[in-house]
Amino acid sequence: MKTFSEKIIFWYNQNKRDLPWRNTQNPYLIWLSEIILQQTRVEQGREYYNRFAKEFPTVKKLAGASEDKVLKLWQGLGYYSRARNLHASAKIIAEKYNGKFPETYQEILQLKGVGDYTASAISSFAFGEAQPVLDGNVFRVLARVFGIDKAIDSTIGKKYFRETAFLLLDKKNAGKYNQAIMEFGALQCKPQNPDCKNCVLNSMCFAYENKAQQQFPVKEKNTKQRNRYFNYFVFKYKDSIVLRKRSGKDIWKNLYDFPLLESDSEISEKLFFENPSLKNYFSELKISNKYLVLKVSVIHKHILSHQKIYARFWEIELKKGISESIQKKNNFISIPEKKISKYAIPRLIDIYLKGTKN
């Protein structure tokens, strides 16, 4: 009788997808794919992987690029901290390891933006190290097959799942087994409507036997979302437009959006210019009574993992440009409007801009 790992690998040999990062043992390219595929569907990730692999074929090429170029190439993929961490780690590898990718789980784990899963994946795929991977797909497969009711987002649960995963790991073929169980979760043991009748594991699966597929895996935490209200100003003067480079610890760090006034709640269009915060903001920019409102957008709803953004865009023609000193103080830059495509912007801004062209 085949063991769990043998069944998983047998299924994989028959059903695996042909993906570019599976045709290499280059740890840099494997790392690149793993960072891109965090929080990203495979089909979308493939396009970005090919783009990055072509633009930055080696870790030294990536390390030598500007952050603006990396973020622009990443634009549209979201979770931009992944791109910043990728770039920072490339610099570490170039300097500390002379461009040679670290070869052990423990060394890889020290890279910025790399956790247990990513370090296990790279070390097993590229170097054959016997480290089990645990992503959402693997948690689901193990929880359903073995009826594990420990919460996957609890400290006890994570420890228990890792110990279980290590016991099941094919130590001599760790890379292939890890690829196989992740692919099995993605294609066969899916979150909704898993194909249980045609599953190689149904004879040993607790969830199938007990018709409890939707009860596993167990989670204890619910992600709370907060609402935010963004009032964007698309300041135009002659053929130029004003952008703001985001900074600090907020979302979209180092990407460009427009000058922004955030409010506690939605402000009606009619009462907006009577708002004290708005008057104060325009006074600080020294544009009071020196502008013309050209257009006001509908509210754009943009959903992120922990927050919902409600954004309205105010297209404003200035009678005089914003001074360089005020631009510098507010992280603004004034650019020719036709060159905005050269800057890395959040998806919310991209959607707005595309809408204005229709």
User: Long-range contacts made by residues 192-199, C-beta under 8 angstroms, separation at least 24?
Assistant: 194/144
Alpha carbon dihedral 98, 101, 107, 113, in 10-degree steps, equals 100
CA distance 94 to 105: 18
Angstrom distance (rounded) from CA 201 to CA 8? 8
User: For residues 108 and 153, is the Cβ–Cβ distance under 8 A?
Assistant: no
Per the structure block, which two tokens stand in for 10?
């047998």
- Whether 142 and 198 have beta carbons less than 8 Å apart is answered as no
Q: How far is CA 12 from CA 8, 27, 30, 209, in A?
A: 6, 22, 19, 23
| 34 is known as an active-site residue | yes
- Name the packing angle between helices 116-127 and 174-187 (round to 10°): 120
Q: Which of 34, 129, 183, 315 is catalytic?
A: 34
> Which residues carry out catalysis?
34
